[in-house]
Amino acid sequence: MPVNYLASGFKHPTNFGLEMASIQDKGTWSGRFAEPVAELVKRYTASVDFDHKLALFDIQGSHAHAQMLAECSIIAMQDLADIQRGLAQIEQEVISGEFAWSLDLEDVHLNIEKRLTTLVGDAGKRLHTGRSRNDQVATDIRLYLRSAVDDLSKLIKSLQTSILDLAEQHTRTIMPGFTHLQVAQPISFAHHLMAYYEMLKRDAERLIDCRKRVNRLPLGAAALAGTSYPIKRERVAELLGFEAVCENSLDAVSDRDFAIEFTACAALIMTHLSRFSEELILWMSPMVGFIDIADRFCTGSSIMPQKKNPDVPELVRGKTGRVNGHLVALLTLMKGQPLAYNKDNQEDKEPLFDTVDTLTQTLRIYADMIAGITVKPEAMRRAALQGYATATDLADYLVKKGLPFRDAHEAVALAVRFAEQRGCDLSDISLVELQNFSALIEDDIYQVLSLEGSLASRNHIGGTAPNQVQAAIARARTRLATS
């Protein structure tokens, strides 16, 4: 199995020395060039200050490429041994932060190759046989993203577990369900929470599906047309744990669909968490008071001593805009590009990296924040009793007694108007008075008008009845344990 560097807690070093030698001793790209690249251009075109993040994946890819080259007798076994030794040392230098990154060497690939050659001589220069930075960078990004997807899938699971743990305690905690932010019908707090579990369930499925298209090997495509060496791409795929190779060399070096797809998945996850955040903010407002968020997720005000602000959910809502922006950036990056590789593609990394980082931090903090919520059932109940939340139950009661639904709807509308004028709930109206709206009403109506009765009656899969929500939670637990 390939090492999961993100999961191992690896921190990317940030020491960029500008002091190292340029690629060629004369300071030019190659003998083809009459003068060195201008300093400003060098800074403009370099990517090392962000793509160093790919270093360990680049090394992983080089190990597999070199191994295949040796197995196919394209390089000598001794060269392979030297390359392996050099790469192992570079890996240590990168992990410890000692590796001296050079802007003169443009990107992560050239930095590592130059260091390898310094360490092991000619064998280092042979590593790039049959390879181009075009297929190399596409491979590195896929290795990086596959690892990120696996980490994120675990984080989604732990957030789902936090939601289930909270929901479990509240299958009988009644709150108003809203449409148009107006009180609609009573539901349980658990039922409301489980809606977010479902969104995250789809998000997890989407990531698994996206992973299939991330997990394809570009190496072997070389610059764009393939290579004249007798390479074995399937062997490299096997060594790196890729499911298959990219089947067209031009597509292999130019495709970034997988990055767009991933960012779309990420944008949707953030969008779900942004909606959740909006509710948490609302619920925590003293005007609503349904919940409290633990102090460690809130901040105070520099001027108003009484304030406790829900900064974390607000920032999640804000950062969603940033991830959605990355999606648009990546789509726009690709839309005008002719085949095959173009330097434009270097611009794929920052949006992608920032998407992974933002989503990782958000999911991590969210799971803890949900676990730290204090629920205020009395406030929820009070709100559910305020908005004639059981009016539909009264209409359904009349329908079950034979009244056509539209007539029942009208009868209840008149009853609600009556209650409103009197300033009371439907359940406070006496039986005799209720019978003015329909002679079908009998004294079993009061059970129907109660919040508990309303919940219990929605007793089918997907409904808010406590036993149904309990069953949904149990199904979710089984699913999480087996997925």
Contact predicate 466/474, CB 8 Å: no
Q: How many CB atoms lie within 10 A of CB 53?
A: 24
Rg for the chain, CA atoms, rounded: 30
Q: By the 8 A CB rule, do 137 and 53 touch?
A: no
Cα separation, 234 vs 242, in Å, equals 9
Determine whether 338 is exposed, middle or buried from the number of CB atoms within 10 Å of its CB (0-12, 13-18, 19+): exposed
Q: How many helices (H) and strands (E) does the chain have?
A: 20, 8
Please say whether the beta carbons of 69 and 241 come within 8 A: no
CB of 267 to ligand ARG, least distance (A): 23
**In angstroms, rounded to a whole number, what is the distance separating the alpha carbons of residues 280 and 260?**
30
Name every residue whose Cβ is closer than 8 Å to that of residue 452 and which is 6 or more positions away in sequence.
Answer: 172, 174
Catalytic residues: 180, 301
Residue among 223 and 385 whose Cβ is closer to ligand ARG? 223
Spacing of C-alpha 306 from chain mean position = 35
Q: Residue 139 or residue 173: which is nearer to ligand ARG going by CB?
A: 139
Give kind and range of the element (H or E) at residue 182. Answer: strand 182-188
**Residue closer to ligand ARG (CB basis): 18 or 76:** 18
Whole-number minimum distance, CB 272 to ligand ARG, in Å? 31
Whichever of 49 and 93 has its CB closer to ligand ARG, that residue is 49
The residue type found at 481 is A
Q: How far is the CB of 182 from ligand ARG (least distance, A)?
A: 52
Q: How far is the CB of 144 from ligand ARG (least distance, A)?
A: 12
Phi-psi category of residue 175: left, alpha or beta, with phi > 0 → left and psi -120 to 50 → alpha = beta
What is the distance, to the nearest Å, from the Cα of residue 68 to the centroid of all Cα atoms in its chain? 35
Minimum CB–partner distance for residue 55 and ligand ARG (Å)? 13
The angle that helices 257-284 and 133-168 make with each other, rounded to 10 degrees, is 30
Shortest Å, Cβ 52 to ligand ARG: 11
Q: Which string of b and e fits 4-25 if b means at least 16 CB within 10 Å?
A: ebbeeeeebbeebeeebebbee
Please report how close the Cβ of residue 334 comes to ligand ARG at its closest, in angstroms: 13
Considering beta carbons, is residue 11 or 343 the nearer one to ligand ARG?
Answer: 343
Q: Measured from the CB atom, is 333 or 419 closer to ligand ARG? A: 333
Measured in degrees and rounded to the nearest 5, phi and psi for residue 20 equal: -70, 160
Q: Quick one: 253 or 323, whose CB is closer to ligand ARG?
A: 253
Residues 187-200 as b/e (b if ≥16 CB within 10 A, e otherwise) read: bbbbbbbbebbebb
The least CB distance from residue 108 to ligand ARG, in Å, is 7
Choose between 109 and 272: whose C-beta lies nearer to ligand ARG. 109
Helices (H), 372-465: 377-386, 391-400, 405-422, 431-435, 445-449, 451-457
Q: Which residues pair with 293 in a beta bridge?
A: 373
Instruction: List residues near ligand ARG by CB under 6 A.
Output: 47, 51, 107, 133-134, 137, 341, 343, 345-346
Return the structure tokens found at 452. 């508990």
